[in-house]
A and B are shown apart, each in its own frame.
Chain A
Amino acid sequence: VMTQTPLSLSVTPGQPASISCKSSQSLLHSDGKTYLYWYLQKPGQPPQLLIYEVSNRFSGVPDRFSGSGSGTDFTLKISRVEAEDVGVYYCMQSTQLPLTFGGGTKVEIK
């Protein structure tokens, strides 16, 4: 089970934001990798990949997004929130089947 907090976040542009994702089991795979991802679903759009394997930014993702964590506890940070960052953020694990997503964190701009 993947548990995200908070459920929602209202952020002033230019301020930081942080989202937590906790797994009920360690996401460290026997191959030494941790298969934890972050996606952003903007309104009316499909999800888009932001971060792969805990801390690697996907192609084209601004460097204001960063991921960290290990084992069961993970965090997505936005250093300076911009208007285009609104949407729902999901963590996802693919260390083991079934692949599971967190419940989502809705980010809005104040």
Chain B
Amino acid sequence: EVELVESGGGLVQPGGSLRLSCAASGFTFSSYEMNWVRQAPGKGLEWVSTITGSGSATFYADSMKGRFTISRDNAKSSLYLQINSLRAEDTAVYYCARRPISRREFDHWGQGTLVTVSS
């Protein structure tokens, strides 16, 4: 069974940093592109970033460039998102989602991890 489990969220002060993780199981991790999507409280979905199966290419939403870094460790079947210089507007549930290589849909999502940026 496909499983994606996010962790690493929590309360952080403005200007701080956080590293989110997504542990994958039940499928061949390196055969999938991986993504982060976030959802602010009571708001809609916002794509954050995508990384290819090998990790050789990454893509970001314009508003995330510079402060967000996506990475993966295929040996550990894990996806990461490093967020620096956190702002109040980064407060959101962060979901990881997989996308089959050569396809473009997010076919499985994790339950999400909540990041709260507040002093």
Contacts and interface: CB of A to CB of B under 8 A. Distances in A.
Q: Do A and B bind each other?
A: yes
Interface of A: 35, 37, 39, 41, 45-49, 52-53, 58, 88, 90, 92, 94, 97-104
Contacts of A39: 45, 106
B62 A37 contact: no
Contacts, number: 52
Interface of B: 37, 44-47, 50, 59, 61-62, 95, 97, 103-107, 109-112
B47 A98 contact: yes
Interface SS of A by simple majority:
loop
A94 B105 CA distance: 8
B95 A46 contact: yes
Given A46-B95, A46-B109, A48-B109, A101 B44 contact: yes
A90 B44 contact: yes
A49 B59 contact: no
Nearest to A59: B107
Given A49-B105, A97-B59, A103 B44 contact: yes
A92 B104 CA distance: 10
B62 A49 contact: no
10 contacts: A46-B109, A48-B109, A49-B106, A52-B103, A90-B45, A97-B59, A99-B47, A99-B50, A101-B46, A104-B45
Contacts of B104: 35, 37, 94
B71 to A, nearest CB: 19
A70 B34 CA distance: 27
A56 B88 CA distance: 38
